[in-house]
Structure 1
Amino acid sequence: MQIILVFIAFFLLNISSCVRETPYQYPRKIKRMPAEKFFEIKKAKLERFVLPAMRNEGIDMWIVLTREYVVDPLAKDLSADRAVARTALVFINEGNSLKRIAICASYDVDPIQKSGIYDTVISYKKEGLAPHLKKIVEEKNPRKIALNISEDFPIADGLSASTLSYLKNILGEKFASRFVSSENIVMAYRSQLLPEEIEIMREAVKITEEIISKALSNEVIKPGKTTEKDVANYIKKTDA
């Protein structure tokens, strides 16, 4: 009799091990913001936060320079994170409005133009970026030119030493003596949120709380079986 009971127990154990576990019920995912909406928000923030910051600082022009492998931290916000060649993003304080000009290589034009951020997109070829940027600066003759150089804020410190040297060579000592840090402009832009951004963040926080709660629940964690990697993989799949 004992032998039969042992056999039955062994048989049931093997059957249960062959049954698939109930697949996870993943929480809802954070919806990706359409590119058009993303850049619509960025354009609105430039007008609402950057222009007042430039006026308060007495800054006439803000220049952001970026290129492949030396990408400025703000490049994505300004639609230049995919630029391969050297790209200049120029913001001019015109009192009641902010003029926005992008200077980029001909093969980098499309995504920058499609963002809708810039009033003017200047395409260069063999002549390079330098003559176009020099012309804009000389015509506007800004008293203060803000650059992304900062000792304290990494987000406002995207200008490499070689690019700064390049800029000085283009514009000469006259304008190089007018260079100032853009950190107050960058902080005003990055630290303040539009109502639309606040709503997006609230929704993202709710979904994140759902994901973490589910990831740490008995549905996912099986004592003695689930590893940290399993939990991490679960969380990653919610963002897939």
Structure 2
Amino acid sequence: MEKKIMKNKFYHILSIIMAFSLSLSAQQDEYKPDPQSVLQLIRNEKIKHVLPLAMRNNNVDMWIHVTRAGDPDPLEYEFGSTSGYLIFTDLGDRIEKAVFAGYFGGEGGIENIDITASVELRRAITGYDYGKQNISVYNEITEYVSSRDPKTIAVNYSDWIAVSDGISHTQFEKLEKILGPKYSNRIVSAENVITEFRTRRVLREIVV
């Protein structure tokens, strides 16, 4: 009798274990992480953990990344769909994120932006008379850069790395006008920052 009871208990426990295993397996099969959510996590983790190193290792105080609608950005994977000026500033304890853009991010975009453009500037960037505007419409950017007073400003141009050369000639000329002579003279290529930022991996990228 005792052996029969023990045998019944054994089969009962075994059936529970099998049922739990099947349930867990089914849950794992059903779990499919949203690609955009994963990409958003990767983007935010890279900006938080990798970007400070990339900027400091290359003695860059500010990185201005310029994009334009209709012109594919080589760093769209890293930042999302953008039209305007992304500015990253090293404040010492963190990287400040300012976005002066007509549109930015979209699904899976970067979170926790510190400073954004006014409605007027967003309209100016997305307007059809983009090339005819008075440069004073960009004073928000001029004043922002001046208030941070960076000693080195990296910009996305390069004569040998295509992915670091996203800015057009006309965009570069406009940026120089926005910054003025003082800060235009502090511009350097962002090629080293971009290379380090893209090649360094966060754990989530490796796992995914």
TM-score by length of 1: 0.62
Residue of structure 2 equivalent to 1:37: 38
CA contact (8 A) 1:109 1:121 kept: no
Query: Cα offset for 1:78?
Result: 1.1
User: CA contact under 8 A between 1:78 and 1:117: conserved in structure 2?
Assistant: no
Give the structure 1 partner of residue 52 of structure 2: 51
Paired residue for 1:153?
Answer: 161
CA 69–110 in structure 1, closer or farther in 2 if over 3 Å, else same: closer
Residue 62 (structure 1) aligns with: 63
TM-fit CA distance, 1:194: 1.5
Distance 2:78 2:206 in 1: 17
Quote how far apart the aligned CAs of 1:76 are: 3.7
Q: 2:115 aligned with 1:124, yes or no?
A: no
Q: Deviations over 1:33-61 (max 9, x none)?
A: 43232122111111222111211222110
Task: State the Cα deviation string for residues 133-181 of structure 1 (Å, max 9, x = none).
Answer: 1111011111100001112211111111110000011111111110001
Of 150, 166, 185, the residue aligned with 1:142 is 150
Taking a change above 3 Å as real, the CA distance of residues 109 and 41 of structure 1, as seen in their structure-2 partners, is closer
Kindly report the root-mean-square deviation, in angstroms, between the aligned alpha carbons of the 2 structures.
2.4
1:83-137 Cα offsets, whole Å, 9 max, x none, are 4xx41101001112111111122xx257289641523332432673612211110
Q: Is 1:87 aligned with 2:84? A: yes
Greater shift, 181-190 or 48-57, is seen at 48-57
3-state SS, counterpart of residue 72 of structure 2:
coil
In 1, Cα distance between equivalents of 2:195 and 2:67: 19
- 8 Å Cα contact 1:65-1:87 kept in structure 2: yes
Query: Which has the larger Rg?
Result: 1
Q: How does 1:1-240 map to 2 (within 5 A)?
A: 33-79=34-80, 81=81, 83=82, 86-105=83-102, 108=103, 111=106, 115-125=110-120, 128=124, 130-200=138-208
Q: The residue matched to 1:125 in structure 2 has which SS?
A: helix
Whether the 8 Å CA contact 1:39–1:117 is kept in 2: the answer is no
With over 3 angstroms needed to count, the CA separation of the structure-2 counterparts of 1:121 and 1:76, relative to structure 1, is farther
Q: 1:42 to 1:114 in 2, by over 3 A?
A: closer
The 8 Å contact of residues 40 and 109 in structure 2, kept in 1 or not, is answered as no
CA contact (8 A) 1:104 1:123 kept: no
Task: Check conservation: 2:40, 2:108, Cα contact below 8 A.
Answer: no
TM-aligned CA distance change 1:69 to 1:193, over 3 Å: same
> Tell me, which stretches of 5 or more residues in structure 1 are unaligned?
1-30, 201-240
Q: Secondary structure at the match of 2:78?
A: coil
Does the CA contact (< 8 Å) of 2:88 and 2:96 recur in 1? yes
SS across alignment from 1:198 = helix
Deviation, structure 1 residue 187: 0.9
> Residue 188 and residue 110 in structure 1: after superposition, are their counterparts in 2 closer, same or farther (change >3 A)?
closer
SS in 1 for 2:79: coil
TM-score normalized by the length of structure 2? 0.71
Q: Which one-letter code corresponds to 1:128 in the other structure?
A: A
Number of residue pairs matched by the alignment: 165
Distance 1:117 1:193 in 2: 21
1:70 positional shift:
2.2
